[in-house]
Amino acid sequence: MGRKISKVLIANRAEIAVRVIRSCRHLGISTVAIYSDVDAGMPHVLLADESVCVGEAPSSKSYLRMDRIIEAAKETGADAIHPGYGFLSENAAFARKCREAGIIFIGPSPEAIEAMGDKTKARELMEANHVPLPPGTASALKDIAEAEKIAEEIGYPVMVKAAAGGGGKGMRIIYKKEDFKAGIRTAKSEAMSAFGDDRVYVEKYLENPRHIEFQIIADEHGNVLHAFDRECSVQRRHQKVIEEAPSPFLDDKMRSEMAEVAVRAAKSCNYTGAGTIEFLADKHRNFYFLEMNTRLQVEHPVTECITGLDLVALQIHVAEGKPLPFKQQDLRIQGHAIECRICAEDPEENFMPSTGSLKRFHIPSGIGVRVDAGIEAGQKVTINYDPLLAKLVTWGSSRDEAIRRMKIALEEYQVDGCRTTIPFCSFAMEHPVFQSGEYDTHFIGQYYQPDGTGHSGDDEAHLAAALLFNEFSGAQNENGRPSAETVEPHMQSMWWRNRR
CB 443, CB 434: distance < 8 Å: yes
The packing angle between helices 92-100 and 110-117, to 10°, is: 170
Task: Point out the catalytic residue in the list 65, 199, 210, 295.
Answer: 295
Burial class from Cβ neighbours inside 10 Å (0-12, 13-18, 19+) for residue 252 reads exposed
Shortest Cβ distance from residue 293 to ligand MV4 (Å)?
A: 10
Q: Mask 99-128, x = binds ligand MV4 (CB under 6 A)?
A: ------------------------------
Closer to ligand MV4 by Cβ: residue 29 or 162: 162
**Interface with ligand MV4, residue 134, by CB under 6 A:** yes
Of the candidate residues 11, 81, 290, 343, the single one contacting ligand MV4 (CB under 6 A): 290
Q: Mask 438-477, x = binds ligand MV4 (CB under 6 A)?
A: ---x------------------------------------
**Interface with ligand MV4, residue 98, by CB under 6 A:** no
Q: For residue 320, which amino acid is it?
A: E
Three-class SS state of 353: strand
H helices then E strands: how many in the chain? 17, 22
**Interface with ligand MV4, residue 235, by CB under 6 A:** yes
Q: SS3 string of 171-219? A: EEEECCHHHHHHHHHHHHHHHHHHHCCCCEEEEECCCCCEEEEEEEEEC
Q: Mask 152-171, x = binds ligand MV4 (CB under 6 A)?
A: -------x-------xx--x
Shortest Cβ distance from residue 235 to ligand MV4 (Å)?
A: 4
**Interface with ligand MV4, residue 211, by CB under 6 A:** yes
Of the candidate residues 115, 126, 200, 206, the single one contacting ligand MV4 (CB under 6 A): 206
How many of the chain's residues bind ligand MV4 (CB under 6 A)?
16
Shortest Cβ distance from residue 145 to ligand MV4 (Å)?
A: 22
Q: For residue 179, which amino acid is it?
A: D
CB 156, CB 175: distance < 8 Å: yes
Of the candidate residues 205, 287, 289, 351, the single one contacting ligand MV4 (CB under 6 A): 205
Closer to ligand MV4 by Cβ: residue 261 or 408: 261
**CA proximity to 32, closest of 56, 57, 58, 5:** 5
Shortest Cβ distance from residue 139 to ligand MV4 (Å)?
A: 16
**Interface with ligand MV4, residue 172, by CB under 6 A:** no
The per-residue DSSP string of 149-164 comes to: HHHHHH-SSEEEEEEE
Report how far residue 62's alpha carbon sits from residue 384's, in angstroms, rounded to the nearest whole number: 11
**Interface with ligand MV4, residue 247, by CB under 6 A:** no
Q: Where are the beta strands (DSSP E) in 456-499?
A: none
**Interface with ligand MV4, residue 203, by CB under 6 A:** yes
**CA proximity to 377, closest of 414, 406, 332, 426:** 414
Q: Mask 259-288, x = binds ligand MV4 (CB under 6 A)?
A: ---------------------x--------
Closer to ligand MV4 by Cβ: residue 238 or 362: 238
CB 430, CB 491: distance < 8 Å: no
Shortest Cβ distance from residue 14 to ligand MV4 (Å)?
A: 22
Three-class SS state of 50: strand
Shortest Cβ distance from residue 202 to ligand MV4 (Å)?
A: 9
**CA proximity to 124, closest of 148, 108, 140, 111:** 140
**Interface with ligand MV4, residue 238, by CB under 6 A:** yes
DSSP state of 296: -
Can 295 be counted among the known catalytic residues?
A: yes
Residues in touch with ligand MV4 (CB under 6 A): 134, 159, 167-168, 171, 203-206, 209, 211, 235, 238, 280, 290, 441
Q: Which residues are catalytic?
A: 295
